[in-house]
Amino acid sequence: MHSKLDLAVGHLNAAVGTVIRAEDLARALREGSVANLASGPEAPLVRGLLHSVFVEIDPALILSCAREAQSDWQHAHQLYTESLADGLPRVKAWEQLVAQRT
C-alpha cells in the first residue's frame, strides 16, 4: 500500500518524470518552505513542483500528507503562503479549509 505522500508525489511527477520524492514533500510540509530543498540545475523545477501541490492536490489529501509527514496544517499553510509569493494562484478550497481551523 502506498502512502498519501507517495500518492501526491506521483501526481506531481506525472508530467515530468521522477523529480521529487515523498521525502521532499514531507520536508517541505514540516518546514513550511522549499528553501532548504534541492540545489543545482533542477532546484527551480523541484521547488515549483512542491509549490504546485496546493493547485494540483485536494486540500484533504494535503492535510493527510502533512499528518503523515508529522507536520500540521499551520506549516502546510506556511508553504501555501510561500507558493503565493512565488507567483502561484490562490486556491479557494485551501483557504476555506484554513479558515475553518482558525
Q: Which domain holds residue 61?
A: 4-101
pLDDT tens, residue by residue, 6-54: 999 999 999 899 999 999 999 999 999 999 887 778 889 999 999 999 9
Residue 56 vs residues 10, 68, 73, 84, 91: alpha-carbon distances, Å: 11, 18, 17, 14, 10
pLDDT tens, residue by residue, 46-93: 999 999 999 999 999 999 999 999 999 999 999 999 999 999 999 999
| Residues 9/62, Cβ–Cβ less than 8 Å | no
Q: Is the pTM of this model over 0.75?
A: yes
d(CA 42, CA 65): 23
Domain count, the chain: 1
Question: C-alpha grid cell for residue 83?
Answer: 507558493
pLDDT at 100 over 80: yes
The pLDDT value given to residue 41:
83
